Structure 1
Amino acid sequence: MLQQPYCSTEVEAIDCWTEWFDSSEPSGSGSTENFARIARKYPGKICPNPIDIEARTLFGLTPEAAGDVIEKSSTNSGFTCRRRNQPNGRCNDYKVRFSCPPPYCAELVCWTKWYDRDHPSGSGDWETLGNLRDENPGEICEKPHYIEVVTTDTMTPAIYTGENFHIYNPTSGFVCRKVDQQRNICRDYKVRFGCPCNH
């Protein structure tokens, strides 16, 4: 086990996500992001056998949050939203990304402990990197490469809650604002940061 000043006990070779791909515009039948077409269009950008796929609208909404019924979301074939399956007869324009396993992503990542400095009682849930560093000196590396955000009660990944996020990146941290939510509330979240392991 590698021990770092900012490391918890967890060190892992992380699965990584590709960049986002928007290879086609919505057509007469709907929105399709085909894996084989993306792999041909962007050679070397995707591993041969992805282990997961994620789709978002161009505005960053999950299909569930956008209200679309998805026909297919598969690492083998890609993503398809058909107009005929939608109550309003339209599909949003989607982008997709793929998760690839080691050794495609061979980086070892040291994860910090989980931090929950704020509760969504005021304007929202603010788990910013600057505040967390101030309150926990020396525990978080200078340039985190990854961030994980889950709910404090059920450990549900933030991306599956359907909420909209003001900040969600490893260099700034995480912010869920009530004003950005349809119900004007945010769930309570905790975060941790993935730091490069020094060999």
Structure 2
Amino acid sequence: MTPTEELSFQMWVSLDPSECRTRWFDHDDPTRNGDYEVLSDLQKIHPGEICQQPIAIEVQTVSGEPASNTSDAFLNYDATYGFACANADQGSRSCEDYRVRFTCPKEFCQVSDQCRTRWLNGDNPSEEGDVESILQLLKTFPGQVCRNPISIEAQTASGISAKHTGDTFLSYDVTFGFACINGRQKSKQCEDYQVILTCPSDFCQGCRTRWFDLDDPTRRGDYETLLRVQTLYPSQVCSQPVAVEAMTVSGVPAHQTGDVFQVYDAARGFACVNAEQPGGNRCQDYKVRFTCPLAFCSV
């Protein structure tokens, strides 16, 4: 298993499928004042890996012995603060070296079955045409493109859907990607296209933020935009996410709701407008989560 795969796998671990547990964290050593595994410190060191308000904490030595089986006295041991063992409280000896794991609300571990990239524009039609192949996108946008997309959507750089341009396409599928050849067009010139990919959920599992629910669809719609998340929670989301997931607050993936989305990409976030829904329906209440470059989780 590569380091990247290991990080992706260890974002959370649960022995009980009904629970949502983080991996084990060992930030401190008892070499000085003691061993302090403080929740607020761990959240800063490992953004996105621990929920804001854990509901339980487990503590054990780095060798796997439950803290309750040791003879140490603990200064703090709760899900709100974290864990603290002070050497001064142990008499003539030092604390053991401890690690902690948190249990989070179930929604922190909810996984959508797919996520969407940002709009990608790796070519222009100045020569033979506009070719946005999966292979070339993987090279041009490393870390931002999945190898096995579920679906692909194309539009012009100005936002017009490919199906409304009048161009004919040599390829428009998830196996190759998208290709428009100038010589095949009546005008002998393709539009400049960009594509967005829908990827399997495993593409989203590297460095994910928590779920954000900043708006309700009671007025114009539900706007869970990246800019708004960055404004309200600047330290909890990266500046350039590589993927976004959206689901209703009850856990239904966005693509299964039947709603029409005005915005749904990693660069802008998510927006569902009530006036654009079929049958006069109102948007569902959504939450979003972003996948960031791995470097964001290692700061």
| TM-score bucket of the superposed structures, by smaller chain | 0.5 to 0.7
Number of aligned residue pairs: 160
1:12 equivalent in alignment to 2:118: no
| Greater RCO (CA < 8 Å, at least 6 residues apart) | 1
One-letter code of the match for 2:198? S
Contact 1:13–1:106 (CA<8 Å) still a contact in 2?
no
Structure number with bigger Rg: 2
Aligned residue type for 2:260: A
Is 1:193 aligned to residue 193 of structure 2? no
Distance in 1, Cα, partners of 2:118 & 2:204: 13
Does residue 180 of structure 2 align to residue 78 of structure 1?
Answer: no
Find the counterpart in structure 1 of residue 101 from structure 2.
Answer: none
Query: Which residue identity does 1:126 align to in structure 2?
Result: G
Cα deviation, residue 94, structure 1: 0.8
The answer on whether the counterparts of 1:14 and 1:105 sit within 8 Å (CA) in structure 2 is: no
Identity %: 20
Unaligned runs of 5+ in 1: 119-124, 131-141, 160-164, 178-184
Separation of aligned partners in 1, 2:285 and 2:169: 29
Q: Check conservation: 1:14, 1:106, Cα contact below 8 A.
A: no
1:26 is displaced (CA, Å) by 0.6
- Secondary structure class of the residue paired with 2:284: strand
Q: Post-superposition shift, 1:85? A: 5.4
Provide TM-score, normalisation by structure 1: 0.54
Distance 1:33 1:102, change over 3 A: same
Equivalent runs, 1:1-199 vs 2, <5 Å = 1=18, 4=105, 7=107, 11-27=110-126, 29-83=128-182, 86=185, 89-106=188-205, 116-118=217-219, 125-128=220-223, 146-147=245-246, 155-159=257-261, 165=262, 174=271, 176=273, 186-187=276-277, 188=281, 189-195=283-289
8 Å CA contact 2:170–2:179 kept in 1: the answer is: yes
CA distance in 1, matches of 2:160, 2:211: 29
Aligned equivalents of 1:172 and 1:44: distance in 2? 18
Report the alpha carbon displacement of residue 67 of structure 1 after superposing the two structures with TM.
4.4
Give the RMSD, CA atoms, in angstroms: 4.5
> CA shift at 1:93, angstroms?
0.6
SS of 1:33's equivalent? strand
Per the alignment, in what secondary structure is the counterpart of residue 204 of structure 2? coil
Cα distance in 1 for partners of 2:119, 2:269 equals: 20
SS in 2 for 1:103: helix
Give the Cα–Cα distance (whole angstroms) in 2 for the partners of residues 13 and 126 of structure 1.
21
Residue segments in structure 2 that go unaligned for 5+ positions in a row: 1-17, 21-103, 226-232, 238-243, 249-255, 291-299
Shift of the 116–17 alpha-carbon distance from structure 1 to 2, 3 Å rule, reads closer
Q: Shift of residue 101 of structure 1?
A: 2.3
- 2-structure distance, mates of 1:172, 1:33: 22
